[in-house]
C-alpha cells in the first residue's frame, strides 16, 4: 500500500546547496508569516534564505496528499563514490526511477531571449549531439531497471535546429520509447506544415511549446520580439499533423502573472489541440541581490492562487495534488497486468497538478475534484491494488466493484460540465476495464491538465 512518507510538521532539517560554491550544506525548512522558507549557511559564503511556498497551508496539503511508492533504479550509473550534485548520472541515492528523460540535442537556438533557462547561444561554444552519441544514450536509457522510462523529451537550446532532428526522433521511436516530445519555441513548427508532418511520421507525439502569454507585449519583454501570431500558427500546424501541444508559460512576477487566467481560457478554447499547461515559475540562478530575488520569486502556491482568482476553474486549497496522486492506479494496473509501469513518486513539493474535465463545445471546465472525492477514490483503488496483488484471480471482480464505488463517491459534490457528462463516465469505466483486460493504453476523456513545477 502506498503511504504518505512526508510529515506536515514544520520546521524540519534537510540538505541543500550553496548558491555560490555549490557545496552541500545543512538547511532548515520553516514557517514564517504564513509562508514556508528555507535557510542554509555555507562556511565560506554565509547565510542564504528564500521562499519555498507563499502559502504554508498549500505546502502542507501537497505533503499530506503525497502517495509514496518509490521504485529506485536497480542499476544506477554515475562515477563511483560520488553523489548529486558532484557528479552526473543517476546515483544510488535516487529513490525513484525516471518517468521522462531529457536529451539536449544542441545548445544553439533560433531566438535570443532575454529570459533563457539554458543560457542558449552565449556560452562561447557550440554543442550538437551526434547520432552516435544519441544511440549510446538511448541504449543506456532502455537498459534502466526495473523498467525504462516511458517518455523522452528533446531539449536544448532549440532542438529543432539540429540538422538531424527528424532522424533523432525516428531512432528514439525505434529504440522502444513509447512517447516522444520536444521542448520548442515553435518557430520551425509555425514555418512549415511539412516539417510538422515529417516529425509526426517519425514518431513525435507532442510539442512542449513555450507560451508566455496571449498578448505581444509579454513576448517583447521576455523573448525580445512579438511572437503571438507565430505561436498560434505553430499550434494549428501541430494539430494538423496529428500531434498535441502542451503550453509552457514561464511565469515572472510583474511581467505575465496577470495573464495566468487568460492562458487557462486560451487552453480551454483550444482543447482539441492543447492537452495540458505546464507552468514554470521563473528559475532564478546565479548572483542576484536578496531583495530583488524575493521580489521576483513566484511559487507554485502563487500560481494556484492566481488560477483560482483569474479563471475560477480550480480552487487553490481543494483541487491541486502532487503528481504522485496517481500512484494507486499505477499499482492496480501493475497488479492486474503483471507488467511494470513508471511510478510518479517525485517529491510532493517539486510540482503539482489539477485535472480538468472540459466541455469542448462551450469551453467550460471543472476540476475533477469538484465532483469526485479524489483522495477517497485513491484510497479505495489502493486497497483494490493490494487485494489484486495478493489474489490475482480477483482482478475482474475488483474492477467491477470499483465502478459503482467510484460512482457513489462522485455524487457528493457535483457533476462534470454538461457537455462532457456523456463521455466522462464511459471513459472512467473504459479505464478500469483496461486494467482488468490487460490493455496497456487505457482510454481518457476530454481534459486538460494544468501543472506547475518548482524551480528554486
Please compute the mean of the pLDDT values over residues 130-147 and round it to a whole number.
Answer: 95
**Range of weakest confidence among 108-117, 199-208, 388-397:** 388-397
Which helix (DSSP H) or strand (DSSP E) does residue 173 occupy?
helix 165-174
Q: What does the pLDDT look like over 32-84, one tens digit per residue?
A: 999 999 999 999 999 999 999 999 999 999 999 998 877 888 888 767 677 77
d(CA 273, CA 263): 14
Instruction: Give the per-residue pLDDT at 421.
Output: 54
Element at 141 (helix H, strand E): helix 131-142
Between 288 and 3, whose confidence is greater? 288
Q: What's the pLDDT score for residue 439?
A: 39
Backbone angles phi, psi at 179, to 5 degrees: -140, 130
Position 438 pLDDT exceeds 50: no
Reply yes or no on whether the pLDDT at 408 is more than 60.
no
Greatest mean pLDDT among 45-54, 365-374, 399-408: 45-54
Q: What is the pLDDT of residue 442?
A: 33
pLDDT at 417 over 90: no
Gyration radius from the chain CA atoms:
22
Beta bridge partners of 104: 155
What beta strand segments (E) does 105-211 contain?
151-155, 179-184, 206-210
pLDDT tens digits for 211-239?
A: 999 999 999 999 999 999 999 999 999 99
Q: In what order do the strands lie in the sheet with 12-17?
A: 12-17, 24-32, 35-42, 46-53
For 73, the 3-state DSSP assignment is: coil
Alpha carbon 258 to its chain's center: 22
State the average pLDDT over residues 297-322. 95
pLDDT of residue 455: 38
What pTM was computed for the model? Answer: 0.90
Q: What is the reported pLDDT for 95? A: 80
- The domains of the chain are located at 95-288+298-320
Residue 65 is classified by DSSP as: H
All cell numbers assigned to 432: 478500469
Q: Give CA–CA dist 222/375, Å, rounded.
A: 39
Q: How confident is the model at residue 340 (pLDDT cuts 50, 70, 90)?
A: confident
Q: Which three cell numbers stand for residue 345?
A: 513518486
User: Domain 95-288+298-320, what fold?
Assistant: TIM Barrel (3.20.20)
- Report angle CA 41, 47, 48 to the nearest 5 degrees: 105
Local confidence band at 456 (pLDDT 50, 70, 90 cut-offs): very low
322: closest CA among 104, 68, 81, 133? 68
Provide the pLDDT for residue 433.
53
As a whole number of angstroms, the distance between CA 406 and CA 425 comes to 10
pLDDT range class, residue 287, cuts 50, 70, 90: low
Q: What is the mean pLDDT of residues 321-339?
A: 87
Q: What is the mean pLDDT of residues 243-255?
A: 94
CA distance 388 to 366: 32
List the grid coordinates of 275. 492537452
Amino acid at each position: 500500500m502506498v503511504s504518505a512518507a512526508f510529515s506536515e510538521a514544520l520546521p524540519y532539517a534537510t540538505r541543500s546547496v550553496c548558491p555560490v560554491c555549490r557545496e552541500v550544506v545543512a538547511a532548515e525548512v520553516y514557517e514564517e508569516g504564513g509562508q514556508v522558507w528555507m535557510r542554509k549557511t555555507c562556511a565560506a559564503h554565509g547565510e542564504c534564505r528564500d521562499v519555498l511556498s507563499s502559502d504554508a497551508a498549500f505546502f502542507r496539503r501537497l505533503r499530506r496528499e503525497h502517495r509514496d511508492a518509490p521504485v529506485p533504479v536497480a542499476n544506477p550509473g554515475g562515477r563511483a563514490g560520488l553523489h548529486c550534485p558532484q557528479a552526473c548520472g543517476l546515483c544510488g541515492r535516487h529513490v525513484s526511477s525516471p518517468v521522462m528523460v531529457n536529451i539536449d540535442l544542441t545548445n544553439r537556438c533560433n531566438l535570443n531571449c532575454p529570459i533563457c533557462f539554458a543560457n542558449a547561444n552565449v556560452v562561447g561554444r557550440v554543442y550538437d549531439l551526434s547520432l552516435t552519441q544519441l544511440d549510446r544514450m538511448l541504449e543506456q536509457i532502455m537498459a534502466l531497471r526495473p523498467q525504462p522510462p516511458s517518455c523522452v523529451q528533446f531539449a536544448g537550446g532549440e532542438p529543432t535546429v539540429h540538422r538531424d532532428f527528424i532522424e533523432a526522433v525516428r531512432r528514439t521511436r525505434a529504440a522502444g520509447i513509447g512517447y516522444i516530445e520536444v521542448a520548442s519555441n515553435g518557430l520551425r513548427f509555425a514555418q512549415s506544415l511539412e516539417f510538422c508532418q515529417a516529425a509526426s511520421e517519425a514518431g513525435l507525439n507532442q510539442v512542449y511549446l513555450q507560451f508566455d502569454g496571449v498578448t505581444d507585449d509579454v513576448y517583447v519583454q521576455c523573448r525580445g520580439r512579438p511572437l503571438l501570431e507565430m505561436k498560434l500558427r505553430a499550434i494549428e500546424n501541430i494539430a494538423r499533423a496529428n500531434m498535441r501541444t502542451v503550453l509552457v508559460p514561464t511565469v515572472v512576477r510583474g511581467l505575465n502573472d496577470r495573464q495566468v487566467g487568460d492562458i487557462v481560457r486560451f487552453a480551454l478554447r483550444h482543447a482539441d489541440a492543447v492537452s495540458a499547461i505546464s507552468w514554470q515559475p521563473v528559475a532564478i540562478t546565479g548572483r542576484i541581490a536578496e531583495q530583488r530575488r524575493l521580489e521576483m520569486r513566484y511559487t507554485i502556491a502563487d500560481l494556484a492562487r492566481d488560477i483560482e482568482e483569474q479563471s475560477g476553474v480550480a480552487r487553490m486549497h481543494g483541487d491541486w495534488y502532487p503528481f504522485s496522486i496517481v500512484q494507486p492506479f499505477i499499482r492496480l494496473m501493475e497488479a492486474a497486468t503483471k507488467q511494470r509501469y513508471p511510478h510518479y513518486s517525485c517529491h510532493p513539493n517539486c510540482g503539482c497538478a489539477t485535472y480538468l474535465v472540459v466541455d469542448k463545445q462551450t469551453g467550460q471546465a471543472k476540476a475533477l475534484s469538484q465532483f469526485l472525492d479524489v483522495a477517497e477514490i485513491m484510497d479505495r483503488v489502493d486497497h483494490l491494488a493490494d487485494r489484486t496483488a495478493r489474489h490475482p484471480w480477483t482482478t475482474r471482480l475488483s474492477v467491477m466493484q470499483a465502478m459503482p464505488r467510484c460512482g457513489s463517491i462522485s455524487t457528493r459534490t457535483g457533476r462534470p460540465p454538461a457537455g462532457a457528462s456523456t463521455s466522462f463516465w464511459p471513459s472512467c469505466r473504459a479505464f478500469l476495464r483496461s486494467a482488468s483486460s490487460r490493455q496497456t493504453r487505457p482510454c481518457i476523456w476530454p481534459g486538460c491538465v494544468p501543472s506547475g513545477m518548482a524551480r528554486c
